[in-house]
Amino acid sequence: MTHVLGLNFGHDAAATILRDGAIASYICRERFSRRKHAGGLDQASIDQALAVAGLDEHAIDWVAITSTQSTEMLVGLCPDLQIEFVGAEAIGLDSPLAEQIPLAALHDRLSFGLRKALNGDGYADLAPALRAVYAEADAYARGEVASIGWLDESIAMPHWTGTKLRGLAAQAAGAELLSERARNGFHYPVMVTLRGRRIPGVLVHHHMAHAAGVFYRAGFDTGAVLTHDGYAPSTSPSSGMFYYGSGNRLYPVMPHFLAVGALYDFVAWRLSLGAVGGAGKLMGLAPYGEPRFYRSELIGNWFDTPPSEPLMLKWFDRCVAEAGAAGYDMSALGDPARITEPVNADIAASTQKLFEETYAVAVEQLHETLIAGGLATDALCLSGGCALNCPTNSRVLRESPFRRLYVDPSCADDGLAIGAAMHLWHNLLDAPVQPSVALQNQSPYLGPPTASGEIEAEIARRGATIVVRKVADAAKHAASLLARDEIVAWFEGGSEIGPRALGHRSLLADPRQPGNWRRVNAVKRREWWRPFAPAVLHDDAPDLFRGGLQDARYMLFTSMVTADALPAITHVDRSARVQTVTEQAGRYHALLQEFAALTGVPVVLNTSLNGPGEPIVEQPRDAINFLLATEVDCLMMGGYEFRRPPSIP
C-alpha cells in the first residue's frame, strides 16, 4: 500500500493523503482557521490530514507539493517539515526540468511573489488582498516566517511559442503532442523531511496539478483538458494549458495564453465587488444587464493585444468610455449601493459575454489541435478557477464539439493538493487509474468526519445559551420546518470540498416563497441582489429545469427554470445554478424527499452555511456560532434541533 501526501502552500491551502490513489483524508486550512481562502499551509493541517487517515510520517511514501503561481512556500508555518531541492537521481524519477535548471542555477529562478507584494515591489496593489488571505503576512514581511521560493517553471516544446488564440491549432500542426519529455517536465525533485524522516517528493506545476485533479477523477479513458484561472500577466503556461489524458498518462499539449480569467477578476475589482471572491459576484450581477459593450474583435489571448495595451485595461476603459458616450449615469460606476444600475450591470454582462465567447474559441482550438494530431476524443475536462463560471460551463456543454464534459467540484485552488498528489501517483509513478477509485473520488464530501461525542460536548459547553432537543427523524423534521417557512441551517457528516454548498453545510429555505430571496440574503448579511441555487431531486430535475447538465451534483452548471412556482431560486434571467441530489448526499436526499411529500415540490433553496466573508462552516462549534450570530430560525445537526433561547422582554 502506497501513501502520497499532497500539499498546497498557496491560497486555499490544503493537505491530502492518497492511499493507493484513493483520497484517505483532505484538510482545507480555511475551514479551520476561519479565514476565507487561507494561504500558507500550516503544521496543524498536515498533522490533521495524517490523523484522519490514521497514519504517521512513517507511512508516507511520497510527497507532492504545489502552490499558487509565483507564491513561495511558508515553511516557517510547518516546523516539522523541511524541503530540499535535489537532483532527479535522489528520488529515482526522470525530470527534464531538473536537467534544464540544475541545482547550481536554481536559486535565481525561484519566485517570491508574496514577499514582493507585501514589500511593494511590483505587486503593491495586491498587498491588501494578500493580507486578507495570509494571516501571517505581516509577520512574514517582518522576516519572522521562513520561506522557500517557488519554482514557477516547466520545460517548453518548440510549438509552445506565443501566438494568437485562433492560431493555436495551426501552430501545433505536425508537432509532437504526446511528448514524454513534456509529460515529465512539469515537476522538480525535492527531498522532504517530516519529523526527521526523509521522504522523496516533487514540486508540481500549478496547472499540471489542476489538470491531474480533474482528469483522474473524471473516469474518462481519454480526454481533453483545459485549465485556466485569474493569474496575470502571463505569456507562459502559468495562466493555463491544453492537455490530453489517456489512461494514467497526462500530456501537456501547449499553453493557450488566455487572459480572460485575469480580465474577469480585474473587472470585478474595478466594480468594487472585491479583489478576492469578486468573480463569483460578477457572475451573479451579469444577468441584471445586457452585453451592450461586447465586441467580437476583442476575443483573444495575451498575444492578441500589444504588451503596451493589456486586454484587461483596454476592455474596462473601453466599456467606461462607451457607457459615458451613450449617456449612462456614470455616478453609479463601482458604487456597491447602486451595483445593479445599468452602467455596472451592462459592464458585468458584457464581460461575461466576452469571457464565454473567448472560452468557447479556446475549446474549439483544443478540439482542432487534438483532431489534427490524431488524438480525437469526445470528452473534455475543465479546471482552474475559471471552471467555476457556471454559464460558461453550460455554454461549453451545449455548443462545444465535445460530447462529454466533467468539471470537478474542487476545480479552484482548494483542489490543488489532490491534483498534485494524483499527478505524482498516476503520471509519474505510472499507477493505473482504477474505475472504482475514480468513482469513489467523485464524492464531494471529503471533509473530516465529526468526532464521536463532539456535538454532545459542544452542547454541554454552551449550556443555557442554546435550546436543544433530540428529534427522531432529522430529515423529516427539517422538511416540516422548511414547509412552514423556517430557514434551516443543515449540518451533516463530512463537509463538501470546493466553494459550493452541496448539502452537508447548507442554509436551506422554501423556494416557493418570493420573500426568501431577500430574507436569506439578510441572514447571511450579503448583498440583496445575489441569487440562490436550487437543490432538486435528481429524477425530478428535467421537469423543472432545462438546458443544463442532467447530472449536476456539484452546482457547476446553469439551467433555465421552467416552473413559475420557484421564485426564490429563479434569477432575473430565469436561470438557476442547479444541484441535482442523489442518495450519495446522505440524509440531505431524504430531506428533499420529505419536503416533496409535504409540498409537492422536490426543490429547496440551498446556499452555503457561512456568514459574510467567512469560509463554509466546518465544525459543530462553527455551526452553533452561526446560529447565535444570525437570524436563522434553527440549526439541524447530529439528530438535534438547535435554537436560540427566547428573548426576555
Distance CA 129, CA 39 (A): 11
**Number of structural domains found in the chain:** 3
Residue whose C-alpha is closest to residue 220's, from 253, 254, 244 = 244
Cβ atoms of 246 and 177 closer than 8 Å: no
* Mean predicted confidence (pLDDT) in 211-235: 92
Neighbour-count burial of 105, counting CB atoms closer than 10 A to its CB (0-12 exposed, 13-18 middle, 19+ buried): exposed
Per-position DSSP letters for 464-480, written without gaps between them: GGSEEEE-S-HHHHHHH
Give the tens place of pLDDT for each residue, 483-542: 999 999 999 999 999 999 999 999 999 999 999 999 999 999 999 999 999 999 999 999
The sign of the torsion formed by the CA atoms of 100, 104, 109, 112 equals positive
Do the domain assignments include residue 120? Answer: no
Runs of H (alpha helix) within 123-259: 127-133, 137-141, 168-172, 180-183, 206-218
Most confident listed range (123-127, 140-144, 548-552):
140-144
Residue whose C-alpha is closest to residue 615's, from 141, 114, 33, 20 = 33
Distance CA 37, CA 23 (A): 21
Do the domain assignments include residue 129? Answer: no
Let me know whether 401 and 416 are in one domain: no
Distance CA 306, CA 417 (A): 35
Bridge-based pairing of strands 404-407 and 81-85 is: unpaired
Q: How confident is the model at residue 275 (pLDDT cuts 50, 70, 90)?
A: confident
Residue whose C-alpha is closest to residue 400's, from 368, 429, 427 = 368
Distance CA 558, CA 392 (A): 9
Cβ atoms of 48 and 449 closer than 8 Å: no
Give, for 279, the enclosing helix (H) or strand (E).
Answer: helix 278-285
Q: Which residue has the cell 476561519?
A: 34
All three cell numbers of 47? 498533522
Q: How confident is the model at residue 648 (pLDDT cuts 50, 70, 90)?
A: very low
**Predicted pLDDT of residue 127:** 85
Three-state DSSP class for residue 168: helix
Let me know whether 479 and 606 are in one domain: yes
Let me know whether 268 and 154 are in one domain: no
Q: What length is written for the chain?
A: 649
Distance CA 9, CA 78 (A): 10
Residue whose C-alpha is closest to residue 394's, from 363, 371, 365 = 363
Let me know whether 491 and 631 are in one domain: yes
Let me know whether 229 and 265 are in one domain: yes
Let me know whether 520 and 401 are in one domain: no
Largest pairwise CA distance in the chain: 80
Final residue before a domain boundary, out of 420, 442, 464: 442
Let me know whether 484 and 431 are in one domain: no
Q: How far is CA 255 from the centre of its chain?
A: 21
pLDDT at 547 over 70: yes
* Full-model pTM: 0.97
Compute φ and ψ for 536, nearest 5 degrees.
-130, 145
Give the tens place of pLDDT for each residue, 241-273: 999 999 999 999 999 999 999 999 999 999 999
Distance CA 126, CA 133 (A): 11
**Predicted pLDDT of residue 236:** 80
Cβ atoms of 621 and 536 closer than 8 Å: no
Give the tens place of pLDDT for each residue, 328-386: 999 999 999 999 999 999 999 999 999 999 999 999 999 999 999 999 999 999 999 99
Let me know whether 4 and 107 are in one domain: yes
Range from 49-58, 94-103, 121-130, 178-187 carrying the lowest mean pLDDT = 121-130
Do the domain assignments include residue 134? Answer: no
Do the domain assignments include residue 140? Answer: no
Cβ atoms of 311 and 259 closer than 8 Å: yes
Do the domain assignments include residue 108? Answer: yes
Let me know whether 433 and 325 are in one domain: no
First to last CA, the chain: 63
Final residue before a domain boundary, out of 383, 407, 431: 407
Bridge-based pairing of strands 533-537 and 579-581 is: parallel
**Predicted pLDDT of residue 439:** 66
**Predicted pLDDT of residue 124:** 64
Let me know whether 336 and 462 are in one domain: no
Q: Which residue has the cell 416552473?
A: 563
Distance CA 73, CA 541 (A): 44
Domain coverage including residue 531: 454-643
**Predicted pLDDT of residue 649:** 42
Do the domain assignments include residue 597? Answer: yes
Q: How confident is the model at residue 282 (pLDDT cuts 50, 70, 90)?
A: very high
Give, for 407, the enclosing helix (H) or strand (E).
Answer: strand 404-407
Three-state DSSP class for residue 429: coil
**β-bridge mates for residue 150, sequence order:** 111
Cβ atoms of 409 and 497 closer than 8 Å: yes
pLDDT at 288 over 80: yes
**Residue 646 CA neighbour count, 13 Å, CB half:** 2
Residue 534, CA distances (Å) to 141, 493, 509, 586, 606 in order: 44, 21, 10, 17, 6
- What does pLDDT average to over the chain? 95
CATH number at residue 1: 3.30.420.40
Do the domain assignments include residue 178? Answer: no
Bridge-based pairing of strands 62-66 and 3-8 is: parallel
**β-bridge mates for residue 469, sequence order:** 641
Residue whose C-alpha is closest to residue 181's, from 96, 124, 106, 255 = 96
Give, for 392, the enclosing helix (H) or strand (E).
Answer: helix 390-399
Q: How far is CA 236 from the centre of its chain?
A: 22
pLDDT at 123 over 70: no
Q: In this structure, what DSSP letter does residue 301 have? A: B
Q: In this structure, what DSSP letter does residue 647 have? A: P
Residues 6+ apart with CB under 8 A from 131: 118, 137, 138
Let me know whether 436 and 459 are in one domain: no
Q: How confident is the model at residue 32 (pLDDT cuts 50, 70, 90)?
A: very high
Do the domain assignments include residue 298? Answer: yes
Per-position DSSP letters for 110-131, written without gaps between them: -B-HHHHHHTTSS-GGGHHHHH
CATH number at residue 471: 3.90.870.20
Let me know whether 416 and 403 are in one domain: no
All three cell numbers of 240? 493555463
Residue whose C-alpha is closest to residue 636's, from 498, 474, 493 = 474
